[in-house]
Amino acid sequence: MTGIRVILIACLLSVCGQAWGADVPAIRAGGRIGIIDMVTNDVTHFHVGRSEVTSFMRTYRADWGAADLIDVPLMSSLKEAGFEPVAVAPSDELRKERQSWLIQNPGANKLPRGCMKELGRIMTELDLAALIVVAPGANSDPEFIWSQLPKTVQGIGFSTNDGAGSNPKATVFDFTQFAMVANTGDGAGFIARDWGGNLQYDWPGFSAGGNLKALTDAQIAQLRPVIAEGMKKRIAMRVMPRIKP
């Protein structure tokens, strides 16, 4: 365990960060639930300087796959709940439209009509009872804790600032979303959409090293257990409660 501290723990234990359908469709017991993972292993570092001139953003390519940190615990949780998880590749249409359908407005309490139609088609074609789409979600409507970050920031990353001296504290963000729909027989029925923008984690033991603007692969690799623990808690407390037969 990494000793990760969830700042907004109340949000994990409630519906904070989730948009739920008014009439949530049921998922049949033992049903096949597809998982479409569109999260990359990019890690964004945004440094909040004392002025715009001293602020900067860097993107790193981590040596771990986001699927390992998300799909593995999600599949395990679904199996324990009595479902059959199935890995599903994103369709060409989802890839093409992911910015407008998923990324740009992750806090919305619905999915665009075109997205719902495509997810319904996928479920029918693959005989799925439900689908969970895991995708980046932009900081388009930032929570107060991330108001200093650009609205274009998405996915997984961390923030530092000039106010902490030579070895600044690193605060981790999880701008990913879990969009959940069920197969109603007449298409996709909206279940919930959980965006991690209201979560905030400490990165224990973070060290800026010699150059904050150019962190090493070894430094970025130390973020993996922090994200893994936070994602496991998020799946258990915010995603799985909505996936019930």
Structural tokens at position 129: 């009872």
Q: Domain for residue 100, yes or no? A: yes
Q: Domain for residue 98, yes or no? A: yes
Q: Domain for residue 72, yes or no? A: yes
Per DSSP, helices labelled H in 127-223 are: 217-221
pLDDT digits (tens, 9 = 90+) for 77-102: 999 999 999 999 999 999 999 999 99
DSSP 6: B
Q: Domain for residue 3, yes or no? A: no
Largest CA distance in the chain: 58
* DSSP letters spanning 35-85: EEE---SEEEEEEE-SSTTT-EEEEEE-SS-HHHHHHHHHHHHHHHTT-EE
Q: Domain for residue 1, yes or no? A: no
pTM, 2 dp: 0.88
Q: Domain for residue 216, yes or no? A: yes
Q: Domain for residue 163, yes or no? A: yes
Q: Looking at the 3D structure of the chain, how many domains does it have?
A: 1
One-letter identity of residue 52? E
> What domain range includes position 60?
9-242
Whole-angstrom Cα distance, residue 43 to residue 38?
A: 14
Write out the chain's pLDDT in tens, 245 residues: 444 444 444 444 444 455 544 567 789 899 999 999 999 999 999 998 878 788 899 999 998 888 889 999 999 999 999 999 999 999 999 999 999 999 999 989 999 999 999 999 999 999 999 999 999 999 988 777 788 898 989 999 999 987 655 567 899 999 999 999 999 999 999 999 999 998 888 999 898 887 899 999 999 999 999 999 999 999 999 999 998 76
